[in-house]
């Protein structure tokens, strides 16, 4: 049975005796410049047999499965395209601080400014969000009214051909409206303040964002993608129960039902604090839950996760912190065995949620060997 077949069988709840190991190594790979042909650029902590290799070749060496074409092949399966006739101008410029980029949006209905800061060389975060006033909401709405989602069948086929039987070619979708507000448009503080101060305007904007998503889900419905990830990056501190019940659950139920109707599987990325989410997990409409992070990195135990998710598929399960030097291989091995015992066969084993640049790839090799010797 190929890795692709095992993944599909896992989602279909068909019998499989094979554990699929799918560690996402994107940040480790880029952070350590594994792609470089010059050994001097690669840390001496990296085994030399990885020097200059492509990610997909490393997965093959590990008998492991990649997950997303964006990360492994640098092929995005969709684009957001701004109408060239809408008189919207985007300008990028350097900020006043090192590794800071300012993005300016100039439109007939106003200007927006956002600032992104890069830390550690490969990961960025917004330090200034584009929406700061009710007028800014109107400007952003104009930009989105003139922006279309475009799924590329050609890029999907190119990625699928390269992946072969190593995985199910998949992607993560744009975030739900509430998550867009918190992570892209306004930030958490302004989102909560505006929901309190301007409830009708915010609800109208959220409904607009939901309607904008119709085009995305219509195209994904028609696409050949078999497994869809909702790339939400949820944290219960930023989506507390009241907002989770009001803005997240109805949205998920509508969209997952839409994709289930055409035979697609769905899972959601939740990688932050989990405790307040535990009562909801079993009833969420998703087939699987990705990146749920237990102690010692998260705020709940593996057993609490198991008891809360029912028979849903867990994707990942091993906290990324365990790949750092302070955790012994013996502890990691025992922890991994606990994950296997608790969640198999409803499991795609991986790192919750990515191997960090200072993570030990030798520990990934150790787990790969464990999986090869696993007996259900």
Give yes or no: residues 71 and 95 share one domain: no
Q: What is the pLDDT of residues 177-195, one digit of tens each?
A: 999 999 999 999 999 999 9
Instruction: Provide the CA 20 distance to its chain's centre, in angstroms.
Output: 18
- What is the Cα–Cα distance from 334 to 70, expressed in whole angstroms? 32
Written as one string, the DSSP assignment of 25-52 is -HHHHHHTTTT-S-GGGS-TTS-GGGTT
- What is the Cα–Cα distance from 262 to 193, expressed in whole angstroms? 39
**Beta bridge partner(s), residue 119:** 123
Instruction: Provide the CA 83 distance to its chain's centre, in angstroms.
Output: 27
In-domain check, residue 138: no
Given 65, 100, 130, the domain boundary residue is 130
What domain range includes position 121?
Answer: 84-130
Pairing of strands 171-173, 147-151: unpaired
Give yes or no: residues 91 and 223 share one domain: no
pLDDT value at position 119? 65
Give yes or no: residues 90 and 230 share one domain: no
Q: What are the backbone angles phi and psi of residue 195, rounded to the nearest 5°?
A: -65, -35
Give yes or no: residues 118 and 17 share one domain: no
Q: What is the pLDDT of residues 273-282, one digit of tens each?
A: 999 999 999 9
Instruction: Name the domain count of the chain.
Output: 2
- Per-residue burial over 187-204, b = 16 or more CB atoms within 10 Å of its CB, e = otherwise: beebbbebbeeeeeebee
Instruction: Provide the CA 6 distance to its chain's centre, in angstroms.
Output: 21
Pairing of strands 171-173, 227-234: parallel
**Are the CB atoms for 229 and 270 separated by under 8 Å?**
no
Given 96, 130, 164, the domain boundary residue is 130
Given 104, 130, 156, the domain boundary residue is 130
- What is the Cα–Cα distance from 285 to 252, expressed in whole angstroms? 7
In-domain check, residue 365: yes
Give yes or no: residues 152 and 285 share one domain: yes
Q: Strands (DSSP E) along the chain, which ranges?
A: 20-21, 78-82, 89-94, 100-107, 110-119, 123-128, 147-151, 171-173, 227-234, 265-270, 288-290, 313-319, 347-352
Closest C-alpha among 81, 108, 79, 103 to residue 92: 103
In-domain check, residue 210: yes
In-domain check, residue 269: yes
Give yes or no: residues 115 and 172 share one domain: no
In the predicted model, residues of the chain with pLDDT beneath 50 are none
Give yes or no: residues 222 and 337 share one domain: yes
Q: Could you give the C-alpha distances from 14 to 11, 86, 200, in angstroms and in order?
A: 8, 50, 47
pLDDT value at position 37? 81
Q: What is the pLDDT of residues 40-91, one digit of tens each?
A: 788 888 999 999 999 999 999 999 999 999 999 999 999 999 999 999 999 9
Give yes or no: residues 252 and 280 share one domain: yes
Give yes or no: residues 163 and 270 share one domain: yes
In-domain check, residue 165: yes
Answer yes or no: pTM beyond 0.85: yes
**DSSP three-state, residue 331:** helix
- What is the Cα–Cα distance from 203 to 74, expressed in whole angstroms? 36
In-domain check, residue 171: yes
In-domain check, residue 136: no
Give the pair of three-digit tokens for residue 299.
């705020």
Give yes or no: residues 28 and 121 share one domain: no
CATH number, residue 354: 3.20.20.210
Give yes or no: residues 309 and 217 share one domain: yes
Give yes or no: residues 77 and 220 share one domain: yes
CA atoms within 13 A of residue 333's CA, in its CB half-sphere: 12
In-domain check, residue 116: yes
- What is the Cα–Cα distance from 254 to 55, expressed in whole angstroms? 36
């Amino acid at each position: 049975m190929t890795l692709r077949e095992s993944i599909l069988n896992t989602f279909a709840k068909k019998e499989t005796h094979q554990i699929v190991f799918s560690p996402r190594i994107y940040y480790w790979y880029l952070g350590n410049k594994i792609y470089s042909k010059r050994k001097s650029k690669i840390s001496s902590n990296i085994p030399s047999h990885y020097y200059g290799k492509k990610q997909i070749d490393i997965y093959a060496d590990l008998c492991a499965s990649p997950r997303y074409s964006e990360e492994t092949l640098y092929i995005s399966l969709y684009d957001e395209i701004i109408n060239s006739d809408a008189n919207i101008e985007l300008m990028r410029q350097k900020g006043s601080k090192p590794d800071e980029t300012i993005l300016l949006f100039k439109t007939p209905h106003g200007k927006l400014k956002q600032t992104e800061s890069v830390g550690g060389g490969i990961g960025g975060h917004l330090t200034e969000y584009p929406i700061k006033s009710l007028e800014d909401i109107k400007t952003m709405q104009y930009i989105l009214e003139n922006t279309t989602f475009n799924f590329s069948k050609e890029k999907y086929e190119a990625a699928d051909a390269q992946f072969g039987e190593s995985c199910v070619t998949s992607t993560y979708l744009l975030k739900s409206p509430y998550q867009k507000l918190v992570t892209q448009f306004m930030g958490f503080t302004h989102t909560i303040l505006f929901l309190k101060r301007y409830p009708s305007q915010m609800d109208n904007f959220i409904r607009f964002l939901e309607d904008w998503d119709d085009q995305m889900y219509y195209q994904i419905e028609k696409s050949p993608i078999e497994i869809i990830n909702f790339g939400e990056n949820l944290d219960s501190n930023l989506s507390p129960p009241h907002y989770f019940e009001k803005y997240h659950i109805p949205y998920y139920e509508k969209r997952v039902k839409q994709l289930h109707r055409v035979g697609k599987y769905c899972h959601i990325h939740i990688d932050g604090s989990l405790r307040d989410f535990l009562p909801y997990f079993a009833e969420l409409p998703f087939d699987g839950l990705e990146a749920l992070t237990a102690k010692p990195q998260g705020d709940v135990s593996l057993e609490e996760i198991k008891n809360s998710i029912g028979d849903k598929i867990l994707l990942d399960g091993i906290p990324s912190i365990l790949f750092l030097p302070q955790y012994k291989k013996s502890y990691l091995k025992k922890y991994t065995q606990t994950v296997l015992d608790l969640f198999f066969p409803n499991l795609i084993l991986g790192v919750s949620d990515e191997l960090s640049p200072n993570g030990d790839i030798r520990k990934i090799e150790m787990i790969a060997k464990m999986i090869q010797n696993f007996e259900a």
